Amino acid sequence: MSRNRSAAGLAGRGRVGQAPNVSPARRRFPQFVKGLLGLGAVALLAGCSASDKPLDIFQGDGTESQTINDLQIPVFIIAIVIGVLVMAAVVFIVIKFRAKPGDDDLPPQTHGALSLELGWTLLPALLLAFVAVGTVVTIFDLADAPQDAMEIDVYGQQWWWGFEYDTNQDGEIDITTATEMIIPAGEPVIVNIRSRDVIHSFWIPALNGKKDAVPGRTHQLTIQADEPGIYRGQCTEFCGLSHGRMQMRVVALDRPDYDAWVENQMRDAATPTDAEAAAGLEVFQGQCTTCHQINGVDEVAFAAQVSGAAPNLTHLMTRSTFAGGIFELYDQANDGDPNYDLGGIPYNDLPEEGTFNRNQLEAWLRNPPAEKPMAPDPTQYSQYGRGMPNLNLSEQQIDQLVAYLETLK
């Protein structure tokens, strides 16, 4: 008899070697709490690590980006507070009202609690109204383009950005460059954003929000860099195989440095006098002028080129990047602060003082699709017509072409 009672008692408490019976809700509760804590830790780490990123949306350095921050920071704070309160309420409810052993009765049912219903209706409505009013005001502030601001035409194209300047406002393009847009610091600039093929999106988070580049349309955006510096950007609309490698930079210079840059960019490319560079010009004329243009060298009207046309290279060596902004043209450009530093060398002095990144440029000319994928099957590049193909240049041709490109200052 005692043996049977003992066995029955063991059966009631669970099998020998196993934990006592626990309700499913109580078993799930610790896992639920662990999940919440883990999610919070991930969010906290993500927030902490964002401050040192070149595309950090909270590092606004212009009038427009500060206007956006004035809206988004309060909204983020409200969202965090509400999220913490909701999570705390969920944890409290789970602990307070979880099922208890032997408790089979339904809890009291509440209907028609006017104060509760008004509370959870009016409070969210007021919060949404606050956010809506701030959003509408911010939208109108950002859409208010300044009068007499300089304008730059921006073109998105798989997978690089082109910039055109009409410096004297006579309707003629005076400067065509790529990957890096140069602006005067402390002055508003209106960018006219367009696309030559598919939909792209122009985004320099430190200067303003993003704006889509749509074929057949022109979208305007105002940017202003309060201080000289380099501001990173990225295409934010999926546009094909190398979308993630369609980068750009805005370089803000003091007005005297900007004027000096404009004066240099207005010049045609000089004719090379060095024998190897002159041979490189012949390689360029034979292999590259179908897509690339150098002012003063076999000029081809850009409008006559296909959608896969490539950047204007007239003053290539005055830029800090190439290949759609993914490779540094000078080794020092990777040093220092990731946002604004070029190794301590002034931007206009890069061609003379910078250490030319020859190895990377040679690797690019040797096999561009290996460095930046541009077609699902590189052997069938011709049927896609996007990006730079493998020209199968010899090592001698590469050396000659690099020697010529080094003269484009």
- 328-348: per-residue pLDDT in tens? 888 754 443 434 456 567 788
Q: In angstroms, rounded to a whole number, what is the distance separating the alpha carbons of residues 236 and 173?
A: 27
Torsion of CA 347, 352, 355, 356, to 10 degrees: 90
| Average pLDDT estimate for 364-379 | 80
Indicate if the pLDDT at residue 183 is higher than 90.
Answer: yes
CA atoms within 13 A on the CB side of 342: 26
Residue 48: pLDDT above 80? no
Q: What strand order describes the sheet that includes 229-234? A: 180-184, 247-253, 229-234
* CB contact at 8 A, 103 and 169: no
Q: Are 248 and 218 in contact (CB under 8 A)?
A: no
* Position with higher pLDDT, 193 vs 285: 193
Which two tokens mark 205?
């988070």
- pLDDT at residue number 370: 83
Q: Which residue has the tokens 């950090």?
A: 56
From the candidate CATH numbers 2.40.37.10, 1.10.760.10, 3.40.50.300, 3.30.470.20, the one assigned to the domain spanning 275-405:
1.10.760.10
pLDDT beyond 50 at 46: no
Asked whether residue 22 carries a pLDDT value surpassing 70, the answer given is no
Residue 31's pLDDT band, with cuts at 50, 70 and 90, is low
Task: Map out the domains of the chain as residue ranges.
Answer: 21-98+110-143, 275-405
58 vs 359 pLDDT, higher one: 359
Q: Please report which confidence band the pLDDT of residue 403 belongs to, taking 50, 70 and 90 as the band edges.
A: very high
What's the N-to-C CA distance of the chain in angstroms?
103
Could you tell me which of 55, 371, 315 has the C-alpha nearest to residue 178? 315
Judge contact between 185 and 226, C-beta under 8 A. yes
For 230-257, the pLDDT digits (tens) are 888 999 999 888 888 899 999 999 999 9
Q: Using CA atoms, how far apart are residues 222 and 238, in angstroms rounded to an integer?
A: 23
**pLDDT range class, residue 199, cuts 50, 70, 90:** very high
CB 399 within 8 A of CB 358: no
Residue 355: predicted pLDDT:
83
* pLDDT reported for residue 152: 94
pTM of the model: 0.73
Q: Is the pLDDT of residue 19 over 60?
A: no
The mean predicted confidence, pLDDT, of the chain is 77
